[in-house]
Amino acid sequence: MEEGVRRWVVKLSEWDPLPSHFSFALSLLPSHEHSSVTRFVKLEDRKRALVSRMLQYVLVHDVLQIPFPDIVIKRTLEGKPYLDYDGLRFPNFNFNVSHHGDYVAIASEPVCLVGVDIVSYDVPQRETITGFIQLFSSYFSCLEWNNIVSAGTSDDDVLIEFYRYWSLKEAYVKAIGSGLTEGLNEVEFSHTSWTNISAKVNGKVMTQWRFWMFELGDRHCVSIARVHPISAATNYKRTLKKLDFTEDEYAQGLHLPTVDFVQLGIEQLISTLQKA
């Protein structure tokens, strides 16, 4: 079952393709995926979209050994990707992707739902850091907000603290596939130097959840959320092959060891897709 747990990340700045090379990489994806890449005007946005799609197909093929022509990836109304395939090696195999700044990441789980979110510690250009984070204050509990505004000794420390909390909240939302940020102030995160991360909802510990955070370097971090499939939002729940697990099955999935992120090169993805 541990083979279904994957954490991959790609650094975009290490790939500077010529237009012909970019077009070739895009051609390796199913034709219906092309518009999701070409709809972007800026090259950096196109790269993020392309690598996101490439990671999904390569991961599904690598973990489940499904031939590329047979891989069908769909999305819920909220935009959460899912694999449409019968007879999976892991009945509830699911994955999630994220991109921000210089990185694109993907994470997968065999039993529990997974959410992943990358943040780049971008400094706002048109407003102060205080003014920027204030726009999001309603999404945090009083404790979280106090931790943010009192972090470190500089505005940059405050900004990084804000992004880390925000990454965890996004991973939570993306795991269940709700696409909604309402009520996020009721989901309160606690941690010990960003390890042993836990969360409460209205003061009650969320025992069915696990959270992790990893620093990627270059002012980026990525958060992972893992939860029981029964927590899935309505539209996403309809895509899952299995919702009812025995306590032993679920406990095994929830307590699978986490793994570090493995950095892949885009050329590796292209090479794998070429062999399809």
pLDDT in tens, 216-249: 989 999 999 999 999 999 999 999 988 888 889 8
pLDDT given for residue 144 in this prediction: 98
Give the number of domains in the chain.
1
Strand order in the sheet with 187-192: 187-192, 195-201, 204-205
Q: How far is CA 73 from CA 58, 61, 168, 180, in A?
A: 12, 12, 25, 22
Task: Please give the structure tokens belonging to residue 123.
Answer: 């400094």
CATH number at 219 reads 3.90.470.20
Nearest CA-CA partner of 156 in 124, 188, 126:
124
Q: What Rg do the C-alpha atoms of the chain give, in angstroms? A: 19
**Mean pLDDT for the chain?**
94
Q: Tell me phi and psi for residue 228, to 5 degrees.
A: -60, 140
- Whether the model clears a pTM of 0.85, i.e. scores above it, the answer is yes
| 84 HSE (CA, 13 A, CB side) | 10
- Reported as a single tens digit per residue, the pLDDT across 118-160 is 999 999 999 999 999 999 999 999 999 999 999 989 999 999 9
Q: What DSSP element (H or E) covers 248? A: helix 247-254
Q: What is the pLDDT of residues 167-206, one digit of tens each?
A: 999 999 999 998 777 789 999 999 999 999 999 998 999 9
pLDDT, tens digit (0-9, with 9 covering 90-100), for 34-57: 999 999 999 999 999 999 999 999
Write the single-letter amino acid at 190. Answer: S
pLDDT of 77 above 80: yes
For residue 117, the enclosing domain spans 2-275
Three-point CA angle 185, 177, 141, nearest 5°: 5
